[in-house]
A and B are shown apart, each in its own frame.
Chain A
C-alpha cells in the first residue's frame, strides 16, 4: 500500500487517568501529530473503533482540526485495531483524505470495565444465547475455546502461562509498561487464582486507562517528515464462516480462529512476504490461549504445535520470532491493541526500548475471538 504511519502518540498508561476519555483522546492525537511533525490543521481524516466514546467531531473540536473529509469507525471491539490503519490507508490511497489519525482512548480500568459482566450486552440477540446462561465475560468466553483446545491437542495451563511469562519479561524492561520491573515466573502463573477455568488470573490481560493515536499519510509525504516511516506493507480484515462476537461456538471445529486465518491469507498475499520473513510479532494478547492459536493460524507452526514453538524459546527477544517486545497488553497496557501498533512502528524505526536488531517486517494483529484485522509494517 502507498501509505505509512508517520507519527505515534500516547498518554501515560494507568489504572486511573483522572481525566475524561475525550481529554485522553485529544492528548494522544496531539502527541502523535507532534511526533509526525504535523499540525492539527494538516489533519483531514479521523478513524476510531465503534466502541470508542469519543466522536470524531469532538476530537476535531478539541484539536482545532478545521475540516474533515473522511471519518470512519470499525466494529467488533479490539478486532478493530489494525483495521483503523487499513481504513486510513485506503482513504489516503483513494484521495479521500491526506492525513488520517487513528485513535483509541478510554478509562477502561477506572470507568467502564470490559472484564465485568456487561448486563446491557444481553440486549443483543446473539448474546441472548450466552449471557443469560452465565457466560458473560470475555475471559469465560475464551475459556470455552481454551478447554476444547486443551482437549484436542493436550495443551496445558503451563503452555498458556509461558506466554504471560514472556510478555511480563519484556514489560519488565519497558519503562512505559504498567508492569515495568515486575516479571513473573511460570510458578507465579500456576499459583494465580482461577478466573474462568482453564484461565487463571495471569492468563488475562490487565485493564488500563489511556489513549493511543497513529498518524497515517501517503508514503511520499511520510518521507519528508521527521521520523522513519513505517510503511503499511499490507492491511487486512477477517471474519470467518458462522462468525459470532467471542462466541463462535457453532462451527465444526473450536480449536482455530478462522477469522485470523482470513487475515493471514490477506496479509501474506498482499505483502508478498511469509511467516519466515517476520522479524517481530506483535500479537494481540488479551488472553494467552489465543496467542497460541494465532501462531497456528498465521502459519508460524502447525495445528496444535504452538506450545512446542513457545517452549522452544523462539518468542524471546533473541529468538527467531520475538513476541511483543513492549510487553504486550499483559505487560504494557490494555489499549485495545493500539499500543501494539505503536510498538511495531518503533521496531521499524529502530527506537524501541527492547529493540530487535535489523527489523525489516513487523506483524501486528488485532483482537481475537471477534472479527479481526492485521498489519504488516515494514521499512518499505
Chain B
C-alpha cells in the first residue's frame, strides 16, 4: 500500500522546484493569437500582455516534458501508482502583480501546497491536489496561481453505461405469485411478501406459506435499507444488458429477508446499502443497490 499522505509530505517538503524558463519572451504574435482565440477585442494589448495569459508563456508546448523536480508531476505519479489514474482540473486562482511587457522573459516555479483525500465525488473516489506557482521576471514575482486538480479512480459505472444496453437486458418472467413485486418496483416500492395468515416475511415469494400453509400472501413495503451479505464482481463472460465488470450483491434487508441486485459502488461484506430503482421501460423497473448516502 502506498501511503499517499506521507508521499505528499515528502514532495511538499522539497519546496519550490527550480525555475523553468519560458520558451519565448512575451511577444505580440502570441498575444494576438490568444486575443483571437478568447474573443477579446480590447485594443490596449499592443505593448503589454493580457494578465490572464500568464500561464501561456511558460507552457511546455506540444511535446513538453515535466521537469524531474516538478512537484505536480511527482504527486500525479504517486496517485497513478495508487490507482487514482484519472485527472480533472477543478479550479485555479490567479493573482497578477503587474502587466507584463513585450520582450520580458518569464520563468516559473511550483511547489506542492496541499493534498487531501480520499474523497467520494461524483466522478469516483479521489484526492484533491493543490499546487502554488509563481512567475518571475528576474527576481521579481509578477504573478501567482493556486491550481487544484482532482486525481480519481473512475467510478465503476459511469452514468451513460446504464442507458445503451437496456433493450437487451434479461427480463424476469412474471406470474401470479410474483407480479406484486414488479408492480411495486414500477411504483418505486420494494415489496416483501408477508403471509396473510401468520405474517411470515419471505423472499423469493411463493403461493403457499411454508410456515402456516395459508394461501393469502400480502406484502409490506420495505424501507429499502440493508447490508451486503455477500457479493460477486462479474468479469466474464459478457452478460446481456450489463457492462463488465459489475457487482451483484446479496443484500440482507433490515426487515430480515435477502435479495439480489446490482450494486453501484465499491462492495464489501457488511456495507450499508439502500435500494435504487432503474426504469428499463414502462413494463419493467429493476431494483438495485447503492451505498447508503447517510452513512
List the interface of chain A (C-beta within 8 A of B): 115-117, 119, 122-126, 128-137, 140, 143-145, 147-148, 151, 193-197, 247, 249-250, 254
Q: In the complex the two chains form, is A134's CB within 8 Å of B246's CB?
A: yes
Chain A residues lying within 8 Å of B223, measured Cβ to Cβ, are none
Decide if B30 is an interface residue (CB 8 Å cutoff).
no
Chain B residues lying within 8 Å of A116, measured Cβ to Cβ, are 237
Q: In the complex the two chains form, is A130's CB within 8 Å of B269's CB?
A: no
Q: In the complex the two chains form, is A144's CB within 8 Å of B231's CB?
A: yes
Known: A143-B232, A148-B229, A254-B229. A133 touches B288 (CB 8 A): yes
Question: A249 CA to B249 CA in the complex, in Å?
Answer: 11
Chain A residues lying within 8 Å of B75, measured Cβ to Cβ, are none
Q: Mark B212-241, 1 if CB is under 8 A from A, else 0.
A: 000000000000000001111111111111
Chain B residues lying within 8 Å of A196, measured Cβ to Cβ, are 232-236
Known: A129-B260, A134-B242, A250-B203. A147 touches B173 (CB 8 A): no
Chain A residues lying within 8 Å of B233, measured Cβ to Cβ, are 194, 196-197
Decide if B257 is an interface residue (CB 8 Å cutoff).
yes
Measured between C-beta atoms, what is the minimum distance from A261 to chain B in Å? 20
Q: In the complex the two chains form, is A134's CB within 8 Å of B262's CB?
A: yes
Known: A147-B231, A197-B232. A249 touches B174 (CB 8 A): no
Chain A residues lying within 8 Å of B203, measured Cβ to Cβ, are 129, 250
Q: In the complex the two chains form, is A144's CB within 8 Å of B172's CB?
A: no
Extra contacts, 18 of them, besides A122-B171, A129-B203, A129-B204 (Cβ < 8 A), are A115-B237, A117-B170, A117-B237, A117-B238, A119-B240, A128-B178, A130-B260, A131-B170, A132-B170, A132-B172, A133-B288, A134-B234, A134-B242, A151-B269, A194-B235, A197-B233, A249-B258, A249-B260
Chain A residues lying within 8 Å of B239, measured Cβ to Cβ, are 117, 134, 136-137
Q: In the complex the two chains form, is A122's CB within 8 Å of B173's CB?
A: yes
Measured between C-beta atoms, what is the minimum distance from A128 to chain B in Å? 3
Chain A residues lying within 8 Å of B257, measured Cβ to Cβ, are 250
Q: Which 8 A-B pairs have the closest CB atoms?
A: A128-B172, A197-B233, A148-B230, A143-B232, A194-B235, A133-B260, A129-B204, A132-B172
Chain A residues lying within 8 Å of B246, measured Cβ to Cβ, are 134
B residues 168-185 with Cβ under 8 Å of A? 169-175, 177-178
Known: A125-B178, A132-B172, A133-B262. A195 touches B236 (CB 8 A): yes
Question: A117 CA to B172 CA in the complex, in Å?
Answer: 14
Most buried by A among B170, B236, B237, B260: B170
Chain A interface helix/strand/loop/mixed: mixed
Chain B residues lying within 8 Å of A135, measured Cβ to Cβ, are 232, 234, 248, 260
Q: In the complex the two chains form, is A132's CB within 8 Å of B232's CB?
A: no
**Cross-chain pairs A/B with CB under 8 angstroms, 14 sampled:** A115-B237, A116-B237, A122-B170, A128-B178, A131-B172, A134-B234, A140-B232, A144-B232, A147-B232, A147-B269, A194-B245, A196-B232, A250-B203, A250-B204
Decide if B250 is an interface residue (CB 8 Å cutoff).
yes
| Nearest B residue to A129, CB-CB | B204
Question: A28 CA to B192 CA in the complex, in Å?
Answer: 49
Most buried by B among A119, A123, A254: A119
Decide if B286 is an interface residue (CB 8 Å cutoff).
yes
Question: A116 CA to B238 CA in the complex, in Å?
Answer: 8
Question: A249 CA to B173 CA in the complex, in Å?
Answer: 19
Of the candidates B238, B250, B269, the one whose C-beta lies within 8 Å of that of A249 is B250
Chain A residues lying within 8 Å of B234, measured Cβ to Cβ, are 134-135, 137, 140, 196
